[in-house]
Structure 1
């Protein structure tokens, strides 16, 4: 006996609902990407040129990324972008001598990277930046140690990870156990093979170059980095 109209409706209705949900999700993701495009391009430009964005530029970029997150809340890249924008705000505040705002924006950046690591736990860049934010806030706790460990485990040969981990780790050197210290020095040794200049600049800026040089094994790279 052929199915009745009511039976056919009961069969097709779930399919229609599922199709509508899929279409809605795809449209939402598409709109999120549109809002995320401009901040992504601005961040690439600022990082490539060394340009320090103005407060207005940061507010505009953050407004777009907040909209992107609202439409695609499980996108870890948007959380990373939000964290970097917050950190730019923190840097601006520090340069203006506003310590309270520096801490506030750094805490916001930290929260963004924490969300990013939950959404994409194998991504070393999120872990490296989380560790750096913890170091900037002088929060040398178990989360800080975990972030360093995860960053080095998932991105041992990633250039930017090497650089950020070197800075974040040396800032909290005396709060790390010997195992993480050993891993950190190995990270620096890997990094100076390709990014010696950048690592030297970052460690010199935080007055930790001499400390790192004590532990780095003798090599041509160490001589270029440390002078001996």
Structure 2
């Protein structure tokens, strides 16, 4: 008697073989899909990393210039500017912090030139544009608004934009030392151009700065002396504040 292999068994073998062949194909497809999906992430991540490196380099220059208090050399300024611009360009989308750094670099180009100096207008106008962009990206950051107000001061543009920047800085950073210090400095320098409300806001910021520490009080008094505002500042400080900080005596 002859024994034959049932056809259903052969079908099962072929089905099992087909299934086994399909598994590697599915795995390869999944790997290729994962690679395709990860490429944009890798690209974006690389840009973020390079932008952060450029921003760090820019900040190192700004910190050094701040300590020295001198205009940078043309070569140093160009390196810092290229780094600042690279950080802005590489970052996917607008970054308010990087735009603000770019503005500060522009301001340092002719830092020692007088307010309103024609030869410094181009770099200071570029700084203003960078601060405007930073304020659009981060409208709730008071630092952007004080930077914008400073840029307007350097250009001697005491208009509605200048007033709005000071108001935003006051409203968004009412208790922050850096904001009050900047508002007080800007106000003391621009005093003849301010209206009554702006002058009151300046003196308010000055008092809050003086209350912070003796060091801050003396720095502000020095600025007042340079701008002929010593008497105005001292007349608007309480006797206890002047005694505690050992100023205006």
2:221 corresponds in structure 1 to 200
1:167 corresponds in structure 2 to 185
Cα offsets for 1:98-119 (capped at 9, x unmatched): 9322122211111111111111
* Shift in Å, 1:175: 4.0
SS in 2 for 1:91: coil
Contact between 2:116 and 2:154, CA under 8 Å: does it hold in 1? Answer: no
2:97 corresponds in structure 1 to 77
Equivalent residues in 2 for 1:84-99, closer than 5 Å: 84-92=104-112, 94=113, 99=117
1:26 corresponds in structure 2 to 45
- The CA RMSD over aligned residues, in Å, is 3.1
Gaps of 5+ in 2: 1-24
* Shift in Å, 1:192: 1.2
Could you say if the C-alpha distance between residues 62 and 212 of structure 1 is closer, same or farther in structure 2, counting changes exceeding 3 Å?
same
Contact between 1:124 and 1:154, CA under 8 Å: does it hold in 2? Answer: yes
Could you say if the C-alpha distance between residues 226 and 137 of structure 1 is closer, same or farther in structure 2, counting changes exceeding 3 Å?
farther
1:227 corresponds in structure 2 to 248
Name the TM-score, length of structure 1 as normaliser: 0.81
**Displaced runs of 4 or more, over 6 A:** none
Paired residues, number:
220
Contact between 2:116 and 2:155, CA under 8 Å: does it hold in 1? Answer: no
Cα offsets for 1:10-56 (capped at 9, x unmatched): xx97x876643333222211111111111111212322343542222
Computing the radius of gyration over CA atoms, which structure comes out larger, 1 or 2? 2
